[in-house]
Amino acid sequence: MTRPFPKALTLLLGLGLALAQPAWERAESLFKAGEYAQAALAYEEVLAQDYGRFAAHLGLGVSLFRLGRLEEARFAFDQMVRVFPDRYEGHYNLGQVYLRLGKPKEAAEAFAKAAELSPTEEAYLGWATALTQAEQAKEAAEVLRRGLTPERSPAYHLALAQALYAAGRRAEAVPVLYGLLNREPRMAEGWDLLARILAEEGLRERALRELDRGLGAVEGKARARLLLRKALLSPRPEPLLREAYALDPSLWEAAYLLGQARLEAGDPKGALGFLLSAYRTSPEPQVALALAVAYLRLKDYRNAYRYAEEAGPPGGFLKAQAAYALGRREEALGLLEGMSSPEAQALRGTLLLEMGRLEEALALLRPLYASGRDPGVGVNLAAALVGLGRFGEAEMVLREVLAKAPKQAAAWYNLALALRGLGRQAEAERALAQAAALGSREAQALLRR
């Protein structure tokens, strides 16, 4: 996955000018020592004496930011831009605080003003980051285009390419990436995005060749990202995923895909190590979903329930399955409400049947069986019919089921009950014996009586 822009942009300090006053000296000393709570109080004291002291406004805002007191920091920098509307630092730092507060629209406005006052790289990157968070990818790309100058860093060019890609302008991102990689060939994220774009344009072989070029230039842990991308484009991904994971165990996507591969190979126990590693690094919903599947297959229903819940809405059916396996039928039935997949409807039918709500079970299972002729659904439909005393209909369904699945023990057992209900005792005994031979405990118990 590509990250749109650098993880974080630093606050501007600009506290170089020490003034002679004791209050100011104390504030600066406390700030340099990392005593931000006391420094904030000292800066407030300075401002109480002279509210036009630029560096005191700045020191107060930065101290509060570093303490995580974001609303107070926002107020401090808002005051700073009101007193010093033509100073870059206040607008830039206000933008940073708004980003941390999850207010990208306000952050974009602050960064735009900062860029207007001083068109620095960091101001344009902050502005584009805010626009991206506000889901304005096209505007973010335009901002970075506008701020592009020959002296911009490789990180800026990468951010521009990522913004163009996010805006759906893949073809425009390609020349930016080639220019970047010719200048800085060790930038793994550039090779990764280039290969991704080429693959999405249908140029899979070219993408693989570019990845090999990147692997020849990139060293160390950063190679893992390129190996992961190559695995996604290769017919035999597992060796590449293992190499990527060995290089960088924190690359959660590689661990997740290795876990998925183990699940698909029918090895849920082998999948757990990879999936848990991925989840510890990045608790993504799809990782939680895979963990729920693995634990469900291993019959660890408590953990299956936990991770299905962590997965959110996509884990709803798995959560219902786990609740059912834990004996929480009412909860499972509630979780299935509104789910229309055949699997969910089949489980709902099972629950209604077990809870003795036979008419409801029959109303649900009859059309479900008619649409797919699934033997498991047919057995439950027949069980509902038997429970309601409709033995002839049950026999017809069960004969059809057994024609498809002759080793279905539950079908033979229910057939025995239906035949008994019809007074055909000898046939019922033969069906019961067949069910017992196939492992039906209910049939075995009846035969022992």
What gap in Å lies between CA 36 and CA 83, rounded to an integer?
Answer: 23
Residue 103 token pair:
């207010």
Q: What is the CA radius of gyration of the chain?
A: 33
Per-residue pLDDT tens digits for 24-37:
999 999 999 999 99
Residue 365 token pair:
């299972």
Cα torsion 392, 399, 387, 427 to 10°: value is 80
What gap in Å lies between CA 29 and CA 25, rounded to an integer?
Answer: 6
> What secondary structure, in 3-state letters, does 385-413 show?
HHHCCCHHHHHHHHHHHHHHCCCCHHHHH
Give the amino acid at 280: R
Measured CA to CA in angstroms, residue 48 lies from 64, 70, 73, 106, 252 at distances of 17, 21, 17, 28, 51
Query: From first to last of its 449 residues, what are the pLDDT tens digits of the chain?
Result: 343 443 344 565 544 444 446 889 999 999 999 999 999 999 999 999 999 999 999 999 999 999 999 999 999 999 999 999 999 999 999 999 999 999 999 999 999 999 999 999 999 999 999 999 999 999 999 999 999 999 999 999 999 999 999 999 999 999 999 999 999 999 999 999 999 999 999 999 999 999 999 999 999 999 999 999 999 999 999 999 999 999 999 999 999 999 999 999 999 999 999 999 999 999 999 999 999 999 999 999 999 999 999 999 999 999 999 999 999 999 999 999 999 999 999 999 999 999 999 999 999 999 999 999 999 999 999 999 999 999 999 999 999 999 999 999 999 999 999 999 999 999 999 999 999 999 999 888 888 77
Per-residue pLDDT tens digits for 212-222:
999 999 999 99
What gap in Å lies between CA 93 and CA 91, rounded to an integer?
Answer: 6
Measured CA to CA in angstroms, residue 93 lies from 45, 87, 105, 109, 226 at distances of 21, 11, 15, 12, 35
Give the per-residue pLDDT at 2. Answer: 41
Apex CA 439: angle with CA 438 and CA 444, to 5°? Answer: 110
Q: Report yes or no: 94 and 78 within 8 Å, Cβ to Cβ.
A: yes
In sequence order, the 6+-apart residues with CB closer than 8 A to the CB of 313 are none
Q: Where are the domains of the chain?
A: 1-143, 250-339, 343-448
Residue 409, H or E segment: helix 409-421
Domain 250-339: CATH architecture, name and number where available: Alpha Horseshoe (1.25)
Length of the chain: 449
Q: What is the pTM for the complete model shown?
A: 0.80
The class of domain 1-143 in CATH terms is: mainly alpha
The class of domain 343-448 in CATH terms is: mainly alpha
Measured CA to CA in angstroms, residue 284 lies from 255, 280, 281, 449 at distances of 12, 10, 9, 54
Per-residue pLDDT tens digits for 171-191:
999 999 999 999 999 999 999
Per-residue exposure over 389-422, b if at least 16 CB sit within 10 Å of its own CB, e if not: ebbebbbebbebbbeebeebbbbbbbbbbbbbbe
What gap in Å lies between CA 140 and CA 449, rounded to an integer?
Answer: 78
* Domain 1-143 and domain 343-448 have a common topology: yes
Please name which of 39, 53, 105 lies closest in space to residue 83, comparing C-alpha atoms: 53
Give the amino acid at 72: E
What gap in Å lies between CA 269 and CA 272, rounded to an integer?
Answer: 5
Looking at residue 6, the DSSP 8-state letter turns out to be: -
Residue 80: CB atoms within 10 A of its CB come to: 22
Residue 422 token pair:
């019809």
